[in-house]
Chain A
């Protein structure tokens, strides 16, 4: 048998890195079983395995979509990857909103969501959820901006507005020429949704006083409008009003120093004797029950978004673990370390459960056409929020 000749250059490199005396001593003491393991691990390394493609949708939930719907999903994904991912980190750190993105984002939404008769209704709940998932997969602030403007503000108009109100406000909102926000929470009223802002009915319309609410989008250019929910003084019913930013008595102050969703602009609002014409009251809202109905719809989309955030985190973590080498594990990704591997494998089924939960919820919603199903509605959102 011909002698096996090691490559001299490799040997020379090895001698530079190794204390030869120590190595020979160690080799002298080595157990045969250990030697076999070492040889195996060296030969394993020499044959790098191909790293599988990263896919946060492991069970192919997108399969519920038709080919056309998949095109929509892809459009949202590539917009988020190409336009948002490269720039959003800086905005997040500075706590600023990426106004530069709005025109392109609006175009992307216009092209993917269509209009039938109002764009908000065009995709149906499942596809809207998947679009939200794709947005949050790259950036949750950008999703929140969209969710507040589209789902909450336009959603209120859609559910509770009169035909004239819809015709007046929906088109500029759909084109993002006006930006919407939605104000329910107050400084002293968060979880217990009972508004303190008062609406004194007068012949000319409403007069609102003393409300400071925390909501997103209020401090965002261009030309925001706001839908505010207020308690009616006489019988404590809840009403909703469309308020334009330049209305006298209405003032907005940005909330500083957030440590989450930093690119979203949340604000405190003060309402001091704000006069609103009756035409700006949403006729469909008479009690908190109506708000709850809207929240049920919105929460299902938030559940999708959380699935997206988890998916994004899983994909980034797996990608990093595949590339990062520690303890000399080169071709074997460091995700092969037991603990790292089990983190990744724990994350994957959770992403899965999130998508499934959200999917079945929104499908049930789609079936029942207009209203959310009766079964405990926060469940999809709470499954996803659990770590």
Chain B
């Protein structure tokens, strides 16, 4: 680790010393990718709400896709490495991070946890090379937080399944090669997972326009009308919503790290700016009220880093010891803190804080999506609440 990183407040308590060489290597790779490839071009994509396809091959070359999955051409990283990479990527750009999180964490994760051996062999290696891109379709127009009660149905007809219903917010769905659709099996009434391949008749995706956060990741509305898929495309180990929840539990820590990355970026940009910007004849960093904001930001960033690091070490030692509540607490807490950190940073830049060219505005806006997806602040709060009190308070 460089002295510079300590100075920049990206690693104030030397988390670096707790990382393996592989984890440090991942961080450096992603950090330079962001500094060299992402930051120079990303604001234009963000403002036009376009996805930077040009960056996909370079992102693939970082060899992160597939994350913790071992075998099937995947990198088999530690959860800590995946977390650190996630934070670094969202420190560069949140939309790109979401793109990776959807295909790597959610789509590949579903196939890995719930798929058959053939399905894994067929999809995972190509997805790890990003030759194929995945999407994850759980949320529906009328079902967001109450995800276990989705209404899309899958009805078995001979050796095929017929899917009917609608999905909303599905990242990458408009161009993905494979979309994991979660639907209620008409026979059992249980939630199951189904792989819908690009171009399947009855599947249509329209990009949602007018987002104010994560503008350069493409989210879509999906309609499924008598969309027929082969029985072989059902995920055999997705037997109920419990299995969906396992996939989500295993990506939730990533979203917590994503929040850390946005907060790190905000701190770094704000610190530099306050040292350069002079008002009343002095750098604004010399004013007490400004220092107080910077210190609050740094305190939150540092605490979040260690919270997330610990959660991932627990996962690396034995994933079973990590409860749903433990995963939800990190997401809930970090998203809430990071949302404040980016707001303070934006404040410190004055008017320049709402201009894309200074990058902070983008992190500020993107945090709003992080705060809401993968379980809103409230839902994750209630998951932890249920675990620590034994009382479910959702309704």
Contacts and interface: CB of A to CB of B under 8 A. Distances in A.
Interface stretch (B78-86, B97-105, B107-115, B349-357): B349-357
Contact of A328 (B146, B351, B355, B356): B146
B350 A19 contact: no
Interface residues of A, number: 30
A321 to B, nearest CB: 12
Nearest to B210: A93
Interface string A231-247: 00000000000000000
B116 to A, nearest CB: 25
A328 B43 contact: no
A339 B378 contact: yes
A329 B143 CA distance: 12
Size range of the interface on B? 35 or more
A149 interface: no
Contacts of A261: 354
B53 interface: no
A190 interface: yes
Nearest to B364: A259
A272 B143 CA distance: 59
Contact of A329 (B144, B393, B395): B395
A190 B146 CA distance: 47
Contact of A259 (B210, B279, B356): B356
B355 A257 contact: yes
A92 B117 CA distance: 49
B393 A338 contact: yes
A192 interface: yes
B355 A325 contact: no
B145 A327 contact: yes
A18 B146 contact: no
B55 to A, nearest CB: 19
A309 interface: no
Contacts of A260: 354, 361
A337 interface: yes
Interface in B337-395: 350-351, 354-357, 361-362, 364-365, 378, 381-382, 393-395
Contacts of B280: 191-192
Interface string A317-328: 000000001111
Given A259-B354, A259-B365, A327-B146, A188 B189 contact: no
Nearest to B49: A93
Interface in B31-60: 43, 47, 49
Interface string A192-208: 10000000000000000
Interface string A116-134: 0000000000000000000
Interface in B259-298: 278-281, 284
B188 A190 contact: no
A259 B212 CA distance: 8
A256 B357 CA distance: 9
Nearest to A258: B354
A181 interface: no
B149 interface: yes
Contact of B361 (A255, A259, A340): A259
A328 B151 CA distance: 12
Contacts of B188: 19
Main secondary structure of the interface of B (DSSP, over half): mixed
A95 to B, nearest CB: 8
A150 B365 CA distance: 30
B142 interface: yes
Nearest to B382: A339
Nearest to A89: B210
Contact of A190 (B209, B350, B356, B394): B350
A220 interface: no
A305 B318 CA distance: 54
B210 A328 contact: no
Interface string B148-188: 01000000000000000000000000000000000000001
Contacts of A326: 143-146
A279 interface: no
A238 to B, nearest CB: 16
Contacts of B364: 259
A80 B340 CA distance: 32
A188 B276 CA distance: 11
B189 A185 contact: no
A326 B365 CA distance: 26
Contact of A255 (B355, B378, B394): B355
B321 to A, nearest CB: 29
Nearest to A266: B351
Interface in B132-147: 142-146
Contacts of A258: 354-356, 361
Nearest to B377: A339
A257 B47 contact: yes
A352 interface: no
Nearest to B44: A257
A331 to B, nearest CB: 14
Contacts of A188: 278
A84 to B, nearest CB: 16
A260 to B, nearest CB: 4
A314 B354 CA distance: 23
Contacts of A327: 145-146, 149, 394-395
Most chain B Cβ neighbours within 10 Å, of A95, A260, A337? A260
A257 B357 contact: yes
Interface string A180-191: 000001001111
Contacts of B378: 337, 339-340
Interface in B210-237: 210, 212
Most chain B Cβ neighbours within 10 Å, of A255, A258, A259, A327? A259
A20 to B, nearest CB: 10
A56 B14 CA distance: 49
B395 A328 contact: yes
B395 A339 contact: no
6 closest cross-chain pairs (CB), A and B? A257-B356, A259-B361, A192-B279, A260-B354, A192-B280, A326-B146
22 contacts: A18-B189, A89-B210, A93-B49, A93-B209, A95-B47, A189-B279, A191-B279, A191-B284, A192-B279, A192-B281, A214-B351, A257-B47, A257-B361, A258-B354, A259-B354, A260-B361, A325-B142, A326-B145, A337-B395, A338-B393, A339-B378, A339-B381
Given A17-B189, A191-B350, A214-B351, 4 more contacts: A190-B279, A192-B280, A258-B361, A327-B146
Interface of B: 43, 47, 49, 142-146, 149, 188-189, 209-210, 212, 278-281, 284, 350-351, 354-357, 361-362, 364-365, 378, 381-382, 393-395
